[in-house]
Amino acid sequence: NEAGSIGETVGNRIIGIDPGAGLMKASAKALQDYELRNWSLLEGSGTAMTAALDKAYKAQQPIIVTGWTPHWMFVKYDLKYLDDPKGSFGASEEIHTIARLKLDKDQPSAYRFLDRFHWTPSDMEKVMIGISEGKNPDDAAAGWVKDNAATVDEWVKGIPPASGQKLKLALVAWDSEIASTHVVKNVLESRLGFKVDLLQVEIGPMWAGIAGGDADAMVAAWLPTTSIDFYNKYKGSFEDLGSNLEGTRLGFVVPSYMDVNSIEDLR
Ligand code: PBE
């Protein structure tokens, strides 16, 4: 049948990302919910996933990847999410900013800015596109900050600058978080006088780093679902500064040239 043929064209494989990602947990749940028993979800990384997508897309070959929004891949390629009528991937989420305990007392200027930091999916995408086109993340972030001076002015308004104090921001090397973390780093350095180090780690150590006080903050908590295991594990050992972006999405993603529209069609 036609559904069987979709599986055959992609070897019954879905290209995943790093195993700790909430997206991988949701993807495994989707395989269960839709009873896709003969399918496998491949572990890898965000970078390997986009490389596989790029290769397949250029050859107009079929491919199914685990994807998320905001992401530059939706700008660069003509893609579609597979419908998820069972809701395995959850609803649209917020990304929260998370600080270590006592950051408000120790670094009040950084804390006040982090608490205010808020932007939109299209802002984040602009930075992501620049990086995907070869800009280094610092330059892409600096360009966005320059182009959005009025927004940045609001973020830092009335906050006294520091004088070279050090801060450590934790992140996982997902393209979305590389973009947001570099923008926050740029503002802390160029507008508030901090010296920022980035701690690029896996998702578990990112949360443990904040909870243990080894890192000062991160802007990568997808809630209420994607990052909830880590949120609950470390609850009480960090401060949730609330949403910095609304309107995310997760799911299985395919090139638009593929003749498949729903996860149900994979059975
Ligand atoms: N992501 C990007 C992450 C959160 C940010 C969707 C790949 C995840 O945990 O799945």
Distance CA 125, CA 72 (A): 6
| Contact criterion met (CB below 8 Å) for 93 and 248 | yes
pLDDT of 182 above 50: yes
Residue 22 Cα to ligand 1 midpoint, Å, equals 6
Check whether 1 has a pLDDT greater than 50: no
CA angle in degrees (0–180, nearest 5) for 173-230-87: 85
Ordered domains of the chain (ranges, CATH): 2-91+249-266 (3.40.190.100), 94-246 (3.10.105.10)
Pocket test for ligand 1, best of 73, 172, 245 (most atoms within 8 A of CB): 172
Q: Give me the residues paired with residue 66 across strands.
A: 252
Q: What is the pLDDT of residues 143-174, one digit of tens each?
A: 999 999 999 999 999 999 999 999 999 999 99
pLDDT 10s digits, 195-246: 999 999 999 999 999 999 999 999 999 999 999 999 999 999 999 999 999 9
**Cα 191 to averaged position of ligand 1 atoms, centre (Å):** 28
Tokens of 137: 């993340």
pLDDT of residue 5: 85
CA of 183 to the centre of ligand 1 (A): 18
What percent of the chain lies above the pLDDT cut of 70?
99
Q: Which of 25, 174, 201, 245 to mutate to test the pocket of ligand 1 (most atoms within 8 A of CB)?
A: 174
User: How many CA within 13 A on the CB side of residue 168?
Assistant: 13
Q: How far is the CA of 222 from the centre of ligand 1 (A)?
A: 7
Look over the chain and give the mean of its residue pLDDT values, rounded to a whole number: 97
Task: Determine the Cα angle at 207 with ends 109 and 115, to 5°.
Answer: 25
pLDDT over 80 (residue 105): yes
> Would strands 94-100 and 195-200 be described as parallel, antiparallel, or unpaired?
unpaired
SS3 234: coil
3 band by pLDDT with thresholds 50, 70 and 90: very low
- With a CB cutoff of 8 Å and minimum separation 6, the contacts of 108 are none
**Whole-structure pTM value:** 0.96
Q: What is the pLDDT of residues 25-57, one digit of tens each?
A: 999 999 999 999 999 999 999 999 999 999 999
Cα–Cα distance between 59 and 57 in angstroms, integer? 5
- Full strand arrangement of the beta sheet holding 65-69: 40-42, 13-15, 65-69, 249-255, 79-81
Site residues for ligand 1, CB cut-off 6 Å: 17, 21-23, 68, 174, 176-177, 220, 222, 226-227, 250
Which ligand 1 atom is nearest residue 21's CA?
Answer: 9
Report ipTM (2 d.p.). 0.96
Determine the 3-state secondary structure of 91 from DSSP: coil
Residue 163 CA, ligand 1 centroid: distance in Å: 34
Question: How confident is the model at residue 4, as a pLDDT?
Answer: 54
SS3 107: coil
Torsion of CA 60, 64, 70, 71, to 10 degrees: -40
